[in-house]
């Protein structure tokens, strides 16, 4: 989840933004007819993977399903494969929804990313503070073995642990003061990764987090350093982590320094880890109401972020958190920071509510096309 940025750098001028994008900007009607090759093909041509998260029930929407089938080479369930929805009772699993996604993906030659085994915000109700340390360990092992094991050989990449770093919790190690940590200490992370590796030795195991992309969101809490320190400790302990997932929940008019971002990504790469962008979208709450200018600011941030990110050769994958404004957590307004003062609907994703491509799609397509081949 994204926090609001502090401070607001001088926004690019209207003229600069529109000039920068004018060449590629197409009127929605025109763009819908000619928005070019599928994003999955543009990515594959550079040895990259593009995909998006999906709300499985939204696949009942034929036009949306067709867009996902055309554009996404990987699909990520935004909710239905988390611990809470699949195991509402101890040891009793219901994978009906993820299985539907697997069938849809199979019909359209798409992969599925597993999201996410352990997240403090999707723990089953029965896993509460009364659990003993030994039982917590056993539950984590059972969950990983059951869930990763079910899709072994079919789901090739998992967000094993999500958002374990939270410097604002005040710990010297910067870790989130979750129930997992209270019961097992940092070792809970090791337990999850080792159990996932045992369940599917071929799967890519990812540590996933947010809030590292913009500069100085919490100047007193260097999240980038704490994430890097955690990854180093995990590797030193022999934890089978293959990659870092950077969620990429961005916000217009929040400080972003592409050079500093790339330098940090290269430090992650130097650890021998791959990098995935796992949940990319752009919150436009700070941008003006006028849609042309708002879309241009969103597109410019997609452009700047992806140019810097894809310059790092360890980056393999770009997943947007949703593909259309028709289904987006940002548009749902669950997070107060996503709600615009003018109550206008946010426009965070490459395709609008009518499934027409936006300027953000132009930026995304260009970034994939311009990326150095992997």
- Binding residues for ligand G3I, per CB under 6 A? 1, 55, 78-79, 82, 121-122, 162, 210, 247, 279, 329
Tell me the sheet residues that pair with 280. 320
H or E segment at 291?
helix 291-310
Cis bond before residue 116 (omega within 30° of 0): yes
Active site residue 163: yes
Given the complex with ligand G3I, which of 58 and 198 has the nearer CB atom?
A: 58
**3-class SS letters over 40-71:** HHHHHCCCCEEEEEECHHHHHCHHHHHHHHHH
State how far Cα 235 lies from the chain centre.
22
Residue 279 CB, shortest distance to ligand G3I, in Å, is 5
Active site residue 71: no
How many degrees, rounded to 5, is the angle at CA 276 between CA 271 and CA 277?
Answer: 130
Residue 320 CB, shortest distance to ligand G3I, in Å, is 12
**Residue 103 φ/ψ, nearest 5 degrees:** -65, -40
Return the structure tokens found at 318.
Answer: 């770009």
167: left (phi over 0), alpha (psi -120 to 50) or beta: alpha
Return the structure tokens found at 30.
Answer: 């025109």
Catalytic residue, from 71, 80, 163, 300: name it.
Answer: 163
Residue 332 CB, shortest distance to ligand G3I, in Å, is 7
Residue 17 CB, shortest distance to ligand G3I, in Å, is 27
Closest residue to ligand G3I using C-beta atoms? 329
The residue among 318, 355, 302, 372 whose CA lies nearest residue 72 is 318
CB 213 within 8 A of CB 268: no
Return the structure tokens found at 141.
Answer: 């092992």
Return the structure tokens found at 361.
Answer: 């799609």
Residue 122, CA distances (Å) to 79, 82, 139, 145 in order: 9, 6, 14, 18
Catalytic residue, from 137, 204, 213, 279: name it.
Answer: 279
Surface-to-core class of residue 327, CB atoms within 10 Å of its CB (0-12 exposed, 13-18 middle, 19+ buried):
buried
**Residue 194 φ/ψ, nearest 5 degrees:** -65, -40
Beta 49-54 vs 243-246: how paired, if at all? Answer: unpaired
Residue 325 CB, shortest distance to ligand G3I, in Å, is 13
Cβ atoms within 10 Å of 182's Cβ, excluding its own: 12
Given the complex with ligand G3I, which of 31 and 351 has the nearer CB atom?
A: 351
CA distance 216 to 224: 10
Given the complex with ligand G3I, which of 3 and 235 has the nearer CB atom?
A: 3
Catalytic residue annotation: 163, 279
């Amino acid at each position: 989840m994204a926090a609001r940025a502090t401070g607001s750098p001088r926004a690019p001028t209207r003229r600069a933004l529109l000039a920068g994008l004018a060449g590629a900007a197409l009127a929605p009607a025109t763009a819908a007819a000619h928005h070019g090759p599928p994003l999955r093909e543009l990515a594959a041509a550079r040895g990259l993977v593009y995909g998006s998260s999906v709300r499985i029930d939204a696949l009942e929407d034929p036009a949306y399903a067709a867009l996902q089938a055309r554009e996404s080479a990987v699909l990520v369930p935004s909710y239905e494969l988390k611990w809470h929805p699949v195991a509402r009772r101890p040891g009793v699993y219901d994978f009906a929804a993820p299985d539907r996604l697997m069938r849809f993906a199979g019909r359209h030659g798409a992969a599925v990313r597993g999201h996410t085994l352990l997240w403090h915000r999707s723990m089953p109700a029965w896993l509460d503070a009364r659990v003993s340390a030994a039982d917590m360990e056993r539950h984590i092992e059972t969950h990983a073995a059951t869930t990763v094991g079910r899709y072994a050989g079919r789901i090739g990449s998992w967000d094993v642990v999500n958002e374990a770093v939270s410097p604002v919790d005040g710990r010297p190690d910067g870790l989130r003061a979750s129930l997992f940590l209270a019961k097992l200490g940092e070792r809970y992370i090791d337990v999850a990764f080792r159990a996932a590796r045992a369940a599917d030795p071929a799967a890519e195991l990812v540590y996933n987090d947010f809030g590292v992309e913009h500069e100085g969101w919490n100047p007193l809490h260097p999240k980038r350093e704490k994430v890097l320190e955690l990854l180093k400790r995990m590797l030193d302990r022999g934890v089978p982590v293959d990659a870092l997932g950077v969620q990429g929940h961005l916000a217009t008019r929040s400080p972003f320094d592409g050079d500093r971002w790339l330098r940090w990504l290269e430090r992650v790469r130097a650890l021998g880890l791959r990098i995935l962008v796992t949940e990319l979208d752009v919150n436009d709450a700070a941008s003006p109401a006028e849609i042309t200018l708002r879309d241009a600011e969103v597109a410019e941030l997609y452009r700047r972020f992806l140019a810097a990110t894809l310059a790092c050769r360890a980056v393999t994958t770009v997943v947007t958190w949703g593909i259309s404004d028709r289904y987006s957590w940002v548009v749902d307004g669950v997070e107060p920071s996503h709600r615009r003062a003018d109550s206008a609907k946010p426009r965070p994703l490459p395709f609008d509510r009518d499934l027409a491509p936006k300027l953000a799609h132009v930026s995304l397509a260009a970034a994939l096309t311009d990326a150095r081949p992997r």
